[in-house]
Structure 1
C-alpha cells in the first residue's frame, strides 16, 4: 500500500490503514479537512474509493459534494457543517457516484480537533469506509433465501473486522478475536455475528453509524433488539 497519511495521523491510525489493505479497492481510507483553508488531505484509499488515481485531482469540499448522490447531498453537507461547529464525533451513511459513474455506498465517520490555544475547532479527521458490497448483500437478503457462497461469507467477516478495527483501533487479529469470543459465549456462528454487525452498519435503512456503546452492547448480546 502506498497510503499517504494526512498530517497529524497517529501511528495507531496508520496501522489500521495498513491492516485493512489487501483488495484492489481498499475499503477504508483516512481524510483530514482543514477548516481554516478548506483544504482536504486524502489517503490513497479515499482517491480510489471515489474512482480516482491517488493524487489525480485536488480534493475540495465542492468536488466531494458533487460526487454525493443528489438525494443524499444536502444531508451530508449538513453533517459536515454541524461537525465543524460542534467538533463532536459524527457519522453518516450515504451514496456517491464515483469518477466512473458507478454508484457506491460509503460510511464516513470522524470528529473535530481543537486548537489548544484558542479552543476553536480547526480540522475534521476520520475515515471513509466503502460498504457498497455489504449494503447490496443486505438489500438482497430480503429478496432471496439462497445460501451465500463461502467467498461472500468471508467478505462479510472481513467487513465486520474492518469496522471493529476502525472503531476500536485494534489489529486484525484482535478484531477477529472479538467476533470469536462473542461466538463462543453465545454459541452463534462467527459469520452470523459478522453478518448482523454489518447490517447494523450498512443496512438499507441506516443513515448513521452505530455508536461504540451500541456496538459493545451488540457484542455482549447479539440477539437483543437493536432499538434502531
Structure 2
C-alpha cells in the first residue's frame, strides 16, 4: 500500500516504531544540521532533552559533542562524519550529559539531503528519541530476572547439598565437593546436577526418598538434564 511517505520518512518511522515497541512512548524531537555552518535546528523537545529551555542556546556541532558522554563522544562524532560524507540513513544510541549534569540515553536516526546541483550532502535531518526511561526499565527487568535466577540457582544447590549432608553425614563443604565432582563427570553446571538430584526425591510421582545406593549411583553416573 502506498502511504505517501518517502523512503526516508519510512526509514525514520520504522526506527521510531522499534523504540516504541519496547513500551511507553518516549519523547521524540526533530533536528536539522546545516553541514556548511555546523549549526543545528532543534524542535522544542530536543532542547528539553539536553536540559535547555526552547531557544535558550544556539545548538552547534561542538556544543552537541560537548554534551556527549565521554565514552560515546568519539563514536558519535564518527557516525556524524560518515553520514555527512555518504548521506546514507544512520542511527545511533548514545549517552549525553544534559545542562544539569544528568546522564540521559538518546537514540538518533537521520538521513542526508544532497544539493540538487552539486550532488554534495549539505544537510542531515532526522529525530532524537529520549530512551532513558526505556533503558532504565529494561535494566531493571534484567536485574530482577538475574537476581531471581541467582536465588533459584542457590536454592536448588542448597537443597541438594542438604540431601548429601544427611545421606553421607558430611559437612557443607564436602557436600558441595560431591556435587562439583558429579558436575565435572557429566560436564554440566553444578546447578543442573543439583536440580537433577533434587528431582530424584521431589519429582512428580516420587513417593519415597531415594536410597543411599541410588544416590551413590547417581553421583557415579550423573545424568544430564533431558537425558534421562
Where on the TM-score scale, by shorter chain, does this alignment land: which range? 0.5 to 0.7
SS of the aligned residue for 2:91 comes to strand
SS of the aligned residue for 2:144 comes to coil
Structure 1 counterpart of 2:164: none
SS of the aligned residue for 2:119 comes to coil
The RMSD of aligned alpha carbons is 2.3
- Deviation at 1:62? 0.6
SS of the aligned residue for 2:72 comes to helix
CA contact (8 A) 2:90 2:109 kept: yes
In the superposition, the TM-score normalised over structure 1's length comes to: 0.52
CA distance in 1 between counterparts of 2:144 and 2:28 reads 29
Deviations 1:172-198 (A, max 9, x none): xxxxxxxxxxxxxxxxxxxxxxxxxxx
CA contact (8 A) 1:110 1:126 kept: yes
Q: Does 1:50 align with 2:44?
A: no
- Deviation at 1:36? 1.0
CA contact (8 A) 2:111 2:124 kept: yes
Q: Does 1:63 align with 2:63?
A: yes
The structure with the greater share of residues assigned to helix is 2
CA distance in 2 between counterparts of 1:33 and 1:77 reads 13
1:109 and 1:83, CA in 2 relative to 1: closer, same or farther beyond 3 A? same
CA distance in 2 between counterparts of 1:26 and 1:139 reads 16
CA contact (8 A) 1:91 1:108 kept: yes
Unaligned runs of 5+ in 1: 1-9, 146-228
CA contact (8 A) 2:84 2:124 kept: yes
Q: Does 1:134 align with 2:134?
A: yes
Dislocated runs of 4+, deviation >2 Å: none
Aligned residues: 126
Unaligned runs of 5+ in 2: 1-5, 10-15, 146-228
Give the 5 Å matches for 1:5-44.
Answer: 27-44=27-44
Structure 2 counterpart of 1:88: 88
Deviations 1:59-90 (A, max 9, x none): 01011100000000000000000000000000
CA contact (8 A) 1:26 1:49 kept: no
Structure 1 counterpart of 2:120: 120
In the superposition, the TM-score normalised over structure 2's length comes to: 0.52
Q: Which structure has more RCO (C-alpha within 8 Å, separation ≥ 6)? A: 1
